[in-house]
Chain A
């Protein structure tokens, strides 16, 4: 179903939703935007073609989350989280795509993560397409796009005074109940905007044979070169919408076992009790980060595990750029032998 949503009507709509849902949308926090629950007054819809600083994965996989509680006599209890039905509004298609990618890890057939599952089931995602290209993004390069519709309940296209709302699920349809249906011409107009946005995104690097090149050059000195100035902090992974690694830690004083975000760029990430570390330096860790996104995800679910949001590019403290790393990878030697 396609609806028309006047921009003036948006604040009221968001407030109406609040009756039944927790409404999360990007709001100004200090000097950047952050997904926060909407309060009774004051609506800020961030209309710049800009991602929030922290990706919305944090709404499904919080930075710190209790998994298990310890009972008094050395026993264990499931942790319970009160999760209300929610609408996540104005998340960008790249981030929505990332959530879908994370589903493949958290919702495996045999081992489905209960906390992730509950949050996913209770969430309606309403994305806002990017009609203007953002600064460091490269979503079309990795096969997604500014109006990528994977795993969304609804998608908004900015058409000046109003949005075209495309809904893809019944839950989303009920959210937009009562709005005027969009005419054919408006849909065509929206398609043009979407196509133009898609075409405006620059191609940052070639993805053809990239997987094979990275795979076959596992022990190349290419990795030394690209990781040389890496500091080994967790900015790129913590701000990445598809990075999901976590650490499980016992908080003794709180008598809880919690999971915290963790990063493959940390030394302690793979350090074993014996003192052996399979990834002892930043070279191996950088290789793991890039290979995971551009090789292993492809092996696992046949999708690139990077949605091109550009956060790691923008916030790397030393200006390391995944786009230029992969462009350099394109000149690596490789054999086509088993690329069938």
Chain B
């Protein structure tokens, strides 16, 4: 069989599989989950095959980059099907965010700012969902806003998911009474600044166009002094830094932050200085937060994928170095 025929065959088989899977979904079949033993088996197979690559490399047969691609793909895909329960040890900064939530009594008002867009969603969306779930479950009132244009849309996606959860849907929460989405407002840190004196000046209406004073939840909210706690989910500018510098430092808002992994280190100084109640950082932080809020969502699911992918990269760095030293030895022997 020529390579071309083989390729066409593979594409055809994969396409057929996808079609079957899709029909399966359309007819309402449940998702697939590997049982624990299968998961362990899969991880061991991946590990052993890496070992095999290492041995091949020691023997002087190097892998090409498409093999690396394949491994990255596998490392990210297969863990999504797994149920390996990783031991969750909650970091103190995540606990800090959660403890502040725990201290709130029913009816407290929580401001959640969505300052990110879809590229950061894999890391941040789980935090948003867990936060909303916890608030709704404990009868906290949620006020949503965004300093990024696509933030409030991400909020709506999260709301949709959380509100459809059976634990929440039975509560029959009312828009405008139990939660509200004020939408996006351009102006970066100046929005926060103006909110310090008057929310309404920045959000004359919510994202649906309902005037501020007609929304029961917020009619009595004038500025930050009426907010009991705030959670900022941000991936850059404007984001956590601006919230800390203006809302926390000047107006005394109590703030917790959810950030991407890349951004987290920049925020630690604020945590140490006590300006932040805590930080939920990256996928691992999100997984810990999900564990605390008992909302087992995407971060817990994605966490394993990210760790495995990371380990794959580390393994290939090691294999690459082995390849280099083996290559040098053979070159030296030749000369």
A, B bound: no
